[in-house]
């Protein structure tokens, strides 16, 4: 059975590219507005240098707001988006291209504006911030301008950076198009990976599952890709080797079972929990068990506490034990039990031998010896008495010695 890979796994090679794209878009959204704003401020400085020569520089013309200054700043930036402001050294606005002469007194002091402070200190300054007047993000460039009598003012040029909003919209569009392109590429690459990698790999996994379930003759389709082909050949070798080894194990198992079944002794195998796993025909015959009885029922059917105790002792001690049983059913017989632990996986094996005939012969031999001893006791005592009489001197009396010797013979 083929395995279905999740889309997350199929698209795994593309995640780094997608992450890099998103990171690049994020950095662009964060850094580009700042870079554009500073570039605009720098260009304003260059433009302000062109505007400076056109400012009225007559002595005394910069002492206070005047219509002349207002007309000059309005004409200089007419028909442009620039805003030109003239600021005195003490921060008072002298003229502004977007404010009339009557509105100037209401404007706040500009002496603490960043670009103005820098212009007064170093001759030039620029800044980018939200305008308090227009409420739009604006770039400012300021330049210190002097006239012949030593009077100085700060000329400031401002430009609303409306392109930032357009840039953000454009950036969103570019990112969206890039995301669509990346999605299309991901789909295409996913389809290609699915056909060239995941489908063949899925089939190989399915074959491996069948081999794991015991189907060692499962057909392995060799893919075109070198690495997957090597995996397919490896699966084939595993299947053939597993089949060979399983065949050898089965042959050994069958041989062992045949050997056990052919034994005259009864054999019982139990697991580590004392449950019967195997019993040969001899064991069943010795204990009068049905041929079709399940192995798990054998110990209950035997009903021999001594056998159960023997098995329990061997499993607990891990050492061999022996015992004898006198059976009355189905026929009177004597059996010898020898139980030994199994080294692998626990459990024990019990060998049962019918020693009824051996016990009968042993009893016959014992009775024979007892009878012989009893029958020989009287004549041996007489022979011993004659021999002692001869030794005590009767040997010198020839007629007596001859008579005694004949009786001994």
pLDDT in tens, 334-391: 888 898 998 776 788 889 888 878 778 888 888 888 888 888 888 888 888 888 888 8
Whether 153 shows a pLDDT value over 70: the answer reads yes
The Cα 321–Cα 17 span in angstroms is: 72
Among candidate residues 329, 354, 379, the one where a domain is terminated: 354
Closest by Cα among 284, 269, 259, 265 to 350: 269
Q: What is the pLDDT of residue 10?
A: 53
Q: Which residue has the higher pLDDT, 41 or 194?
A: 41
Question: What percentage of residues in the chain have a pLDDT greater than 90?
Answer: 0
Q: Which residue has the higher pLDDT, 29 or 142?
A: 142
- Full domain range(s) for residue 299: 264-354
Closest by Cα among 162, 146, 169, 144 to 154: 144
Residue at 41 is within a domain: no
292 plus 269 within the same structural domain = yes
213 plus 155 within the same structural domain = no
388 plus 312 within the same structural domain = no
Among candidate residues 128, 161, 194, the one where a domain is terminated: 161
Whether 250 shows a pLDDT value over 60: the answer reads yes
Neighbour count for residue 198 (Cβ, 10 Å):
19
137 plus 61 within the same structural domain = yes
Residue at 42 is within a domain: no
63 plus 156 within the same structural domain = yes
Among candidate residues 328, 354, 380, the one where a domain is terminated: 354
Long-range contacts, stretch 181-187, CB < 8 angstroms, 24+ apart: 182/14, 182/17, 182/18, 182/21, 185/14, 186/11, 186/14, 186/18
Domain CATH for 343: 3.30.450.20
Whether 9 shows a pLDDT value over 60: the answer reads no
Residue at 128 is within a domain: yes
Residue 344 near residue 327 (C-beta atoms within 8 A): no
Residue at 244 is within a domain: yes
Q: Which two tokens stand for residue 278?
A: 């195997």
Work out the average pLDDT over 32-47. Answer: 73
317 plus 371 within the same structural domain = no
Residue at 206 is within a domain: yes
Quick one: 50 exposed, middle or buried, by C-beta within 10 A (0-12, 13-18, 19+)?
exposed
Q: Which two tokens stand for residue 340?
A: 């030994």
Number of domains in the chain: 4
Least confident of 83-97, 118-132, 164-178, 251-265: 164-178
Work out the average pLDDT over 323-341. Answer: 82
Most confident range (mean pLDDT) of 152-166, 296-310, 361-375, 386-400 is: 361-375
63 plus 95 within the same structural domain = yes
Residue at 88 is within a domain: yes
Residue at 168 is within a domain: no
Q: Which residue has the higher pLDDT, 207 or 247?
A: 247
64 plus 156 within the same structural domain = yes
pLDDT bracket for residue 58 (50, 70, 90):
low
186 plus 218 within the same structural domain = yes
Residue at 43 is within a domain: no
pLDDT in tens, 183-215: 677 667 666 666 666 667 666 667 777 777 777
The Cα 129–Cα 126 span in angstroms is: 10
219 plus 269 within the same structural domain = no
Distance set, CA 274 to CA 103, 277, 283, 313, 343 (Å): 108, 9, 17, 10, 15
Q: What is the pLDDT of residue 16?
A: 67
Q: What is the pLDDT of residue 394?
A: 76
Domain CATH for 223: 1.10.287
Q: What is the pLDDT of residue 297?
A: 77
Q: pLDDT averaged over the chain?
A: 78
Work out the average pLDDT over 11-40. Answer: 66
Kindly report the pTM of this predicted structure.
Answer: 0.41
Least confident of 124-128, 186-190, 290-294, 351-355: 186-190
């Amino acid at each position: 059975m083929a395995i279905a890979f999740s889309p997350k796994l199929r698209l795994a090679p593309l995640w780094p590219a997608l992450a890099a794209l998103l990171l690049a878009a994020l950095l662009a959204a964060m850094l580009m507005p700042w870079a554009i704003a500073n570039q605009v401020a720098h260009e304003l400085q260059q433009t302000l240098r062109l505007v400076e020569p056109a400012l009225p520089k007559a002595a005394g013309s910069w002492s206070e707001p005047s219509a002349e200054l207002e007309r000059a700043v309005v004409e200089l930036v007419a028909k442009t988006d620039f805003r030109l402001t003239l600021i005195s050294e003490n921060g008072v606005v002298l003229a502004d291209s977007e404010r009339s002469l009557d509105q100037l007194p209401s404007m706040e002091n500009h002496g603490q504006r960043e670009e103005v402070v820098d212009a007064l200190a170093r001759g030039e300054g620029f800044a980018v911030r939200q305008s308090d007047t227009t409420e739009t993000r604006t770039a400012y460039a300021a330049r210190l301008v002097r006239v012949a009598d030593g009077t100085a003012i700060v000329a400031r040029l401002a430009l609303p950076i409306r392109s930032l909003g357009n840039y953000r919209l454009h950036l969103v569009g570019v990112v969206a198009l890039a995301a669509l392109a990346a999605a299309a590429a991901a789909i295409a690459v996913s389809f290609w990976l699915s056909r060239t990698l995941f489908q063949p790999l899925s089939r190989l996994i399915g074959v491996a599952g069948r081999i794991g379930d015991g189907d060692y003759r499962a057909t392995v389709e060799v893919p075109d890709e070198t690495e997957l082909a090597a995996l397919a050949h490896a699966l084939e070798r595993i299947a053939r080797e597993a089949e060979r080894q399983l065949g050898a194990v089965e042959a050994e198992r069958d041989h062992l079972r045949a050997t056990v079944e052919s034994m005259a002794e009864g054999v019982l195998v139990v697991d580590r929990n004392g449950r019967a796993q195997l019993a040969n025909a001899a064991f069943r015959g010795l204990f009068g068990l049905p041929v079709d009885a399940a192995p798990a029922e054998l110990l209950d059917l035997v009903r021999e506490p001594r056998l159960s105790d023997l098995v329990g002792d061997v499993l607990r001690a891990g050492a061999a034990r022996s015992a004898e049983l006198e059976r009355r059913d189905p026929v009177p017989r004597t059996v010898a039990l020898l139980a030994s632990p199994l080294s692998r996986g626990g459990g024990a094996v019990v060998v049962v031998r019918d020693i009824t005939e051996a016990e009968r012969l042993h009893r016959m031999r014992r009775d024979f010896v007892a009878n012989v001893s009893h029958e020989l006791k009287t004549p041996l005592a007489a022979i011993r008495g004659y021999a002692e009489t001869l030794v005590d001197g009767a040997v010198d009396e020839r007629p007596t010695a001859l008579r005694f010797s004949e009786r001994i013979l």
